[in-house]
Amino acid sequence: MNLLDLNYEQLKEVVVKKGLPAYRADQIMDMLLCYKDWSEVSNLPKNTSSLFSDYCILPLEIINEFKGGNGVVKFLYKLQDNHLIEGVYLPNNYGNTICVSTQVGCKMRCAFCASGKDGFMRNLTSGEILAQVLLVNKIMGGTSKNRAISNVVLMGSGEPLDNYDHVVSFLKNISAKRGLNLSLRNITISTCGLVKQINKLAKEGLNVTLTISLHSTDDEKRKKLMPIASANKIIDIIAAADNYYKSTGRRVSYEYALTEENSDNSSVEKLIELLNDKNAHVNLIRLNEIEGQEVRGVSERRSIEILDRLNNFGISATLRRSLGSEVEGACGQLKNHFAKK
Ligand code: SAH
């Protein structure tokens, strides 16, 4: 059992059950949010740690880090059961972003993505997802009140909506007043387009930013890139995204990794047709190379041509800068290592 899986109310219940006064929950919560061990805090009675010996408080540790350009750092974390996951810290001019993993491995097996190549191991708990943010916040000099992290993207390994309950608990806990109090607007969930779960998320009352990995404008071609497309048609995904926008007021983004297959003029015109009347944003992504990859990307020149075509038509679009590729920390390059390193 992991104390970071609990919200404040649940933590208070545990604290009271252990025979401690309720106010100790605030001190323990602060310790947890600072990702500190019992021995690192001085405001709790000495025997507190033994009272909680049945609980884990630090579910992951950093066992390696790789520094890239522009301050990007990729972290290799070890979980309690020795599984390894990765995450990336990306400083930018509006704040600092951390990219977190939601699963060990991934079931989706997208052709261009490294995360699912070794299969799926298990879901991460909400506390394990939160711990990635807290630990990096700590080592970057942040505290529970003075955060060094301003944005979180759920774009590491795993499909967030395939680990729905833990991801929703994570979102609630990280944004709670008595949690890290991070605005949900600063958190982005990226999904391969699980229609049912997008519609469910729309009803949660969490105004988290949603981005959809579209990557194709044709269902048959999409199936070749993303096997999950067999169960989720593009038209239904876009309808679910519209529904999400209506329910939350949050503009949805579409990720479109530029491949030889999807970057021809007719695909681009189809993309325009699909998103024409939507309040949507398109994030064009230069395909990052992964080991054994069969999918080929397009030139920078072609990428810019596509960007211009979308913008000239009046569709909000950007070409994502690829940070972290030199440390294999860019999109799709985070793969699961099981005690490999
Ligand atoms: N499972 C989620 C999160 C995945 S990673 C999802 O599918 O959205 C975040 C983004 O990186 C997704 O849009 C994903 O499709 C994209 N991506 C994966 N591999 C990539 C690669 N090799 N190059 C560029 N983008 C990639």
The number of beta carbons lying within 10 Å of the beta carbon of residue 22 is 11
3-state SS assignment for residue 213? strand
Closest CA to 330 of 282, 276, 293: 293
What's the whole-number average pLDDT of the chain?
93
213 alpha carbon – ligand 1 mean position (Å): 7
| Greatest distance between any 2 Cα atoms in the chain | 68
Please state the domain extents for the chain: 1-57, 59-340
Q: Are 159 and 103 in contact (CB under 8 A)?
A: yes
255 alpha carbon – ligand 1 mean position (Å): 8
Written as six digits, the tokens of 130 are: 């939160």
Estimate to the nearest angstrom the gap between the alpha carbon of 42 and the chain centroid: 34
* CATH class as words, domain 59-340: alpha beta
pTM for the whole structure: 0.95
Which residue is closest in CA terms to ligand 1's atom 5?
Answer: 155
301 burial class (0-12, 13-18, 19+ CB within 10 angstroms)?
exposed
Substitution candidate for ligand 1 out of 102, 129, 190, 254 with most atoms within 8 A of CB = 190
Give the C-alpha separation, 227 to 204, whole Å. 27
Residue 340 has pLDDT above 70, yes or no: no
3-state SS assignment for residue 291? coil
What are the pLDDT digits (tens) for 208-225?
999 999 999 999 999 999
Written as six digits, the tokens of 6 are: 């609990």
**Residue tagged active-site, from 99, 106, 113, 331:** 331
Residue 49 has pLDDT above 90, yes or no: yes
3-state SS assignment for residue 51? helix
Substitution candidate for ligand 1 out of 98, 255, 336 with most atoms within 8 A of CB = 255
**Residue tagged active-site, from 86, 128, 159, 328:** 86
What are the pLDDT digits (tens) for 89-148?
999 888 999 999 999 999 999 999 988 888 999 999 999 999 999 999 999 999 999 999
Confidence of residue 331 (pLDDT cuts 50, 70, 90): low
325 alpha carbon – ligand 1 mean position (Å): 13
1-57 topology per CATH: DNA polymerase; domain 1 (1.10.150)
Are 1-57 and 59-340 the same fold in CATH? no
86 carries an active-site annotation: yes
331 alpha carbon – ligand 1 mean position (Å): 5
What are the pLDDT digits (tens) for 228-269?
999 999 999 999 999 999 999 999 999 999 999 999 999 999
